[in-house]
Amino acid sequence: MIKDQGTDGTHGEVLECDVCILGAGIAGLNALFAASRQRTSSCRIVLVDRQAEPAGMWHGAYDYVRLHQPHPIFTAGNIAWRGQSDRYHLAHRREVVDHLKYCYQVLKERTRLEARFGHEYLEHEDSERGAHPVTIHCRRLTDGASLTIRARHLIKAFGYNVKPMSPLEVTSDAVLSLSPDRSDIFDAQVEQSTGPVYVVGGGKTGMDTAHALIRAMPNKRVRMLIGAGTMFLNRDLSAPRGLRRHFGGATTLDAFVDVAGRFDGRNEVEVMAHFRRTYGVSLHDDCRRFLFGLMSPEENREIRRGLDEVIRDHLEDVVDGPSGPVMVLRRGGRRPIAPGSVLINATGYLAREKAPYEPYLSASANVLSIQPTSTTHFLSSQASYFLSHLFLRGDLASLPLYETDVRELHDASRDVLPAVGIAMTVHNTTLIMGRLPRWAAKENGLDPMLMLPLHRRLRSFVGLMRFVKSRPDHMAKALDTVRERFGIRLGPLAHLRPPSKITRAAS
């Protein structure tokens, strides 16, 4: 039961519950969805987030961000969007926030939920015994008052825990350095700046920023520094429209199974080049990075046409030379940059900080943790949906999912990261599907295949089953090869307990 012992200044508030969920971004809301379906309506759930409202990173993202996938498949469980007739609409930031807040309201009505927004998680202990083995310590941000939660199950759904980017720090004062998250890039100082705008980074934020600038300021010279270049999954192929829905394009599952089947743990460059040629769009023919972003060929063409220049290198600094400011590039090059130019930091949000390792499932099987040091699926939303269901059923500990630290993998090899991300996701999803109840699989509204008719979904699914049957060890072997090549953690959790010791939840 929930015990509110009041805030007495010494002990603070104490709550007891069956499930405590930390984080109310899309990962936390999918955990809440799973809890609402795995538990009876009398089960007590406590949800904590440091922000004032649900929706996570979408509150703080740059204003012109849009979903890269059709909006229906960005949700909690199978909660449908309201008031949007075009299934392919790419929702704006405000629309995403509204939808996630709506998901929260729906789930609040379905559950016995106590939410504590404006509270920050500090730490937890797991005694492994008793009705409420996990004690979670939080504090209220306004006054530091403590909040203690005693829970049967803890789901730490911080997911990607995206934080706003700061402007790039450069030596020279002759250029203006901005972050899309901290300043309005459409204001007069950018439009009237005497030099071009340099968008630093070629991933989703870079492409979004270049696209928005090209449209808003057609007379401004916009240049991009794209490093090794990023490819995107061709959205017109993965979510074809009209009659093409029935036969055109290639499903995301087909594309991922194709990559997973080709990847042997050593040939990532070749395999991702195949992916780019067959399923991708990119500014250049040799872009190497893939961070699971989607883009249409039309958007890609518009950006390419609108750009004044694409520089295939990384910016290290801007320094003052004898004849004015100079860009210092990673490959050793230096090139002049006009005084009054604008730099926009779009170098990416992922893998910026090295965080202490936390396994996705604790040794006691009482704590589930969805975050990048123990990633099982490239989407935090999807990982949270699947793993929360299995966790609350007591079925997760007996499933040998592969897990890895995204940051460690990124530092080991940026080339191998996408191939591992794809192979691991396909491998884990096949294991999860073998264990998840059919009704829970059906309620997974995040599946990109839902944009396609049933016959195509079935065909792709049969393709996956054939692949797994004919080459059952292929993906695990490829991932094991990567682990040995780079000496990184990539494989099943070391501490998984035998299934007989797992407490099975009555659902």
Ligand X SMILES: Cc1cc2nc3c(=O)[nH]c(=O)nc-3n(C[C@H](O)[C@H](O)[C@H](O)COP(=O)(O)OP(=O)(O)OC[C@H]3O[C@@H](n4cnc5c(N)ncnc54)[C@H](O)[C@@H]3O)c2cc1C
Q: Is 160 in the site for ligand X (CB under 6 A)?
A: yes
Quick one: tokens of 321? 């030379």
- Listed residue (212, 233, 234, 236) closest to 222, CA to CA: 212
Applying CB under 6 A, the site for ligand X has a residue count of 32
Q: Taking Cα atoms as reference points, which of 211, 195, 218, 14 lies closest to residue 114?
A: 14
**Residue of the chain from 65, 207, 239, 365 that contacts ligand X (CB under 6 A):** 65
Angle at the Cα of 282 (from 281 to 286), degrees rounded to 5?
A: 120
Question: How is residue 505 annotated by DSSP?
Answer: P
Q: 19 vs 329, which CB is nearer to ligand X?
A: 19
Binding status of residue 27 toward ligand X by CB under 6 A? yes
Q: CB-based contacts of 399: which residues, under 8 Å, 6+ apart?
A: 390, 431, 432, 435
Distance CA(77)–CA(24), nearest Å, equals: 14
Nearest approach in angstroms of CB 398 to ligand X is 26
Cα–Cα distance, 416 to 424 (Å, whole number): 12
Name the residue nearer to ligand X (CB basis): 64 or 461.
64
Contact set for ligand X, span 335-364 (CB under 6 A): 349
Query: Which residues are CB-contacts of 496 (< 8 A; sequence separation ≥ 6)?
Result: 361, 397, 398, 400
With CB under 6 A as the contact rule, which of the stretches 16-24, 234-242, 332-340, 402-410 interacts with ligand X? 16-24
Phi, psi of 15, rounded to the nearest 5 degrees: -120, 145
Residue 161 contacts ligand X per CB under 6 A:
yes
- For 44-56, give one letter per residue: b (16+ CB within 10 A) or e: bbbbbbbbeebbb
Q: Say whether residue 425 binds ligand X (CB under 6 A).
A: no
User: In three state form, how does the secondary structure of 94-153 look?
Assistant: HHHHHHHHHHHHHHHHHCEEEEEECEEEEEEEECCCCCCCEEEEEEECCCCCEEEEEEEE
230 binds ligand X (CB under 6 A): no
382 touches ligand X (CB under 6 A): no
Which range touches ligand X (CB under 6 A), out of 47-55, 257-265, 297-305, 403-411? Answer: 47-55
Q: Can you give the C-alpha Rg of the chain in angstroms?
A: 24
Alpha carbon distance, N-terminus to C-terminus of the chain: 17
Residue 151 or residue 337: which is nearer to ligand X going by CB?
151
Q: What does the alpha-carbon distance between residue 63 and residue 93 come to, in Å, rounded to a whole number?
A: 6
Can residue 23 be called a binding residue for ligand X (CB under 6 A)? yes
Among 47, 48, 136, 168, binds ligand X (CB under 6 A): 48
* Structure-token match 């104490």, residue found: 14
Of 17-25, 182-190, 297-305, 396-404, the segment contacting ligand X by CB under 6 A is 17-25
Q: CA–CA separation, 155 vs 394, rounded Å?
A: 13
Among the listed ranges 22-30, 387-395, 447-455, 475-483, the one in contact with ligand X (CB under 6 A) is 22-30
Q: State which of residues 31, 34, 35, 57 lies at the interface with ligand X (CB under 6 A).
A: 57
Smallest distance, Å, CB 482 to ligand X?
A: 23
User: Judged by CB, which is closer to ligand X: 22, or 318?
Assistant: 22
By beta-carbon proximity to ligand X, the closer residue of 174 and 233 is 233
Stretch that binds ligand X, among 56-64, 240-248, 333-341, 482-490 (CB under 6 A): 56-64
Residue number with the smallest Cβ distance to ligand X: 159
121 is an interface residue for ligand X by CB under 6 A: yes
Q: Which string of x and - marks every residue 177-216 that binds ligand X (by CB under 6 A)?
A: ---------------------------xx-----------
If the CB atoms of residues 28 and 280 are measured against ligand X, the closer one turns out to be 28
Does 67 help bind ligand X (rule: CB under 6 A)? Answer: yes
**Which stretch in 9-17, 20-28, 310-318, 430-438 sits in contact with ligand X by CB under 6 A?**
20-28
Judged by CB, which is closer to ligand X: 25, or 77?
25
Closest to ligand X by CB, 55 vs 464, is: 55
Q: CB burial class (10 A; 0-12, 13-18, 19+) of residue 29?
A: buried
Closest CA to 377 of 54, 73, 160, 99: 160
| Cβ proximity to ligand X, 180 vs 227, nearer residue | 180
One residue of 39, 68, 276, 289 binding ligand X per CB under 6 A: 68
Q: Is 279 in the site for ligand X (CB under 6 A)?
A: no
Name the segment binding ligand X (CB under 6 A); options: 63-71, 107-115, 246-254, 431-439.
63-71
Contact criterion met (CB below 8 Å) for 233 and 279:
yes
- Written in H, E and C, the secondary structure of 183-219 is CCCCCHHHHCCCCCEEEECCCHHHHHHHHHHHHHCCC
The residue among 118 and 340 lying less far from ligand X, judged by its C-beta, is 118
- The whole-angstrom separation of Cα 392 and Cα 349 is 30
Q: In what order do the strands lie in the sheet with 280-282?
A: 280-282, 230-234, 289-295
Output 67 or 259, the one with its CB closest to ligand X.
Answer: 67
Binding site for ligand X (CB under 6 A): 22-28, 48-51, 56-57, 61, 65, 67-69, 74, 120-121, 158-162, 204-205, 349, 379-381
